[in-house]
Structure formats: structure tokens, C-alpha cells
Structure 1
Amino acid sequence: MTRCEFAHDDGAYVLGALAPADRAAYERHLAGCAACRDAVAEIAVLPGLLGRLDPTTLEEFLPPPPEVSRVPDLIATARDRRRRERTRNRRRYALTALVAAGFALVLGVAGASALRPAPTPAPTTQAVRMVSMAPVAAKTPAVHAEIGLSGTKWGTEVTMHCGYDATAGYGKAYTFRLVARGPDDATEQIASWLAAPGDDVNLRGATRFTDAELVRLELLRADGTLVLSYDVR
């Protein structure tokens, strides 16, 4: 249980021996500390009882007072002792809190390291073998392309690199389409793009046709002119 830093101030407060600043601090503290309020309440009657004593009646029982009163020195000594004790307590509490925080940090780092999942190795990608598509129409713009195929359970992934050569006589941009042909002459468009002379295009697409179903890949212009083709089987 933490000891109250004002635990020794009740007597000095009741007897009026606190400095104004300490008295104000203690009164602010009383508002939130039930233990100190109870301590003050227990000795609150002491000044009244002392006030009822007749000094002349006590003279025969008390030794003669010293020539110089030591009360101010005693009060100053009590204050210094209280302040030193309060300083030692604060340092001890601060050191304890610092050590506890250090242990918590070490345990937290160790726990986080233990709970952190092992890094997932980066997936290794296999290089796709690229094959050239064959030209079909000689009078079409000078277009060349390479195709790479990767079979999956749901179809085929298609990787494509296409270049539109800057050739004299061809300065117009064309829209091109990559189409897959499957069984029974079924077709499916994989991608479309706009290319001008000098452009170089890299793209990836997919078709629902599997390795066993994919028959042919065709590169066409938007008007339907067949430019390049690749026979899968």
C-alpha cells in the first residue's frame, strides 16, 4: 500500500505550525484523502484543550522555561525531517516505478517476439516461356508479339509482350485485341489496347480455356483484321 506523503502533517496543521504554502497544499490534499481527514479530525480538539489550561496552575509542575525558546528550532527541525523523508519516499517510488517499467518493457518485447508469426517466405515465381506469334497479313503495320502461357485449374494465364514498330508509312495508332479460341470455334477476348508506332506493351490476362481446350491465340485490329496468331495445338 502506498504511504501518503502528507501523513506527518496533521499535527503541524492542527497546531498552525505549517508555512502558508505548505498549509495551502495540505488543505488541497485533504479534499481527496480520507485518511488525512480522519487524522485531522482525531486531534482537532487539541488546540481547544490546550487553550483551557491555566499557565499559572502548571508552573508548579513544569520546570522553568529556558531563557531562549527552542520552539522555532524544533519546528524547523521537524519540517526539515519531514521534507527529507518525503524526498526519500519520492525517489524510492520513482526508482521502483522505473524498474517496473523496465521489466514490463523487456517482457513486452519478449512476448511480442514470441507471438510474432514467422515471416512468410516470398512466393517464388517461375519464369514463363515466351514464344513468338506468327504474322498473318503482310500489309498490316509492323507488329511483333511474344506469348507465354501458364495453365491453371480454372483456365490459362496469358503473358504478352507486344511492340508496334516505327516504320515508314505507318503513323497511325490502332486498337488491338488479343482473342483466345477454344473448342467448337468458341472465342473469348483476353485484352485490348491502343498502340502507336514505337509503343511497347506488356500485359497479363486470362482465359477460361484450359490447356486441353485452348486451340489458338489471335492478335487482331479493331476492324477485325488478323495480324498475328499462335497455334497452341
Structure 2
Amino acid sequence: MSTPVDPYRDWGAAYVLGSLSPGERREFEQHLAGCPECSGDVASFAGVPGILSVVPRDRALDLLEPDEEADEPPPALLTGLVAAERSRRWRTRVLVAAALVVAAFLGAAVALAVRPAAPDATTATSAAPPAPDVTLDQTMPSPVTASVRLVDEAWGTRIEVLCSYAVPDGPPPPVFAYSLHVVAADGTRTQVATWTAGPGSTTRPTATTGLPRADITGIEIRLVQKDLVLLRVTL
């Protein structure tokens, strides 16, 4: 008997990159609550938006050029984005990345078309400052501290995390897995990222959500093994 195919297995990359429709995003987030495999996929893609944001457009286009001499995706591309296990999943991610590159070019073209030829010096303003960091409060004593930065995006919100694991006195504790959850205005909690860290380490995971910044009322960091809330902040 063949194993049923999970129809959501190829949605992870599109979810992280914000290319799902609002209805699809809600459907997929409900599916994530009961599917460890898809939750793991979403966590593995968490850093992709940050990687894409620093790749020059010309380099991104070069990476999207097909390799006629190879049946498998170029190893350099897999290393630059995520370690893909199957060519099918690689093709899905490249198609989404291509859509982002095209959207970026279209956005730049529109900006050039409407930009004034010579802005008056008295009305010129500097770029908007980055969103301030928000420190999470400990719900219990632990060597883990963290802060987050919530950045408004057209498709939702990008969450940049700075998580530090101090070296406590006595025997060093083991490496643990942590998860990041966003709390919506209706009280629902959604996992958007996971990572591992050990004593003396500092991690900078990046997560994304389709929720607008105004609809996020809290952030939580949990110890995965026990689903225990270690850090929390109410926004």
C-alpha cells in the first residue's frame, strides 16, 4: 500500500516567503499545528528571507539560470539558500525566489517612474529608522535572554531574533532546541521558527508571519522538549 502524499509538503517555502494567499496561509497554519514534518520544513526555511534580502539582483538572476549540463540543482545554490533533499522541492523554492526577484524589479521600476526629478532640500527626509529592539522577559530563571525586532513587510511581518545563552556556574547544561511563537490578537499562538543553542552561544534566527505588525500582541520563546515558555513579551 502506498503512503499518502501530504498535499502541504511544498507549501513551506511559499509560506516563509509570504507568497501564499491569506486563505492559503490560514489553512496552512492550521495544518502546521498537527504536522511536525511541515513545521520542521518551515523552521528550516526561516533564514531564507534574510538570505534573499542580501543577494544582489544580478546575482539572484545568475542563480536562476538553468544548468543544461546537470539534472540536479547546482550545489552552490542549495548552499546559499537551504540544504534541499529533493530536486522537486528545490524547483519550488527557485520558482518562488524568481517571483520575488521579478517583483523587486517591478517595484524599482515603479519607484523610478514616480520619483521626482529633483526633490527640494527642505522636504527631503532620511530613510525610516529600523524598528526598535524589544526585550523579552524571563518567565523563570534561566541563562537564556533574547530580544526581537519586528519589521513591517508588504506581506506581513519579519521577526529578527537575538538570543544569547550565557555560561552558568557549575557543569555546563546541554544544547537545547527552542521555538519562537507569535501571539495574535485573538489569542492564537503560532510557531514560526526553531533553532538550537548551547552555553556561550548567540543565535540570530529570522522568522516570518503573514500577520500585520498591528495584529501581533505577543512573542514567546519556548523550550521545545517540554513546550515550556522561557521568555515572553506582550506588545
Ranked by relative contact order (alpha carbons within 8 Å, sequence separation 6 or more), the top structure is 2
Q: Mark yes or no: TM-score above 0.5.
A: no
TM-score tier after normalising by the smaller chain length: 0.3 to 0.5
What is the TM-score of this pair, normalised by structure 1? 0.43
TM normalised by structure 2 equals 0.43
Q: Kindly name which structure, 1 or 2, has the bigger radius of gyration based on alpha carbons.
A: 1
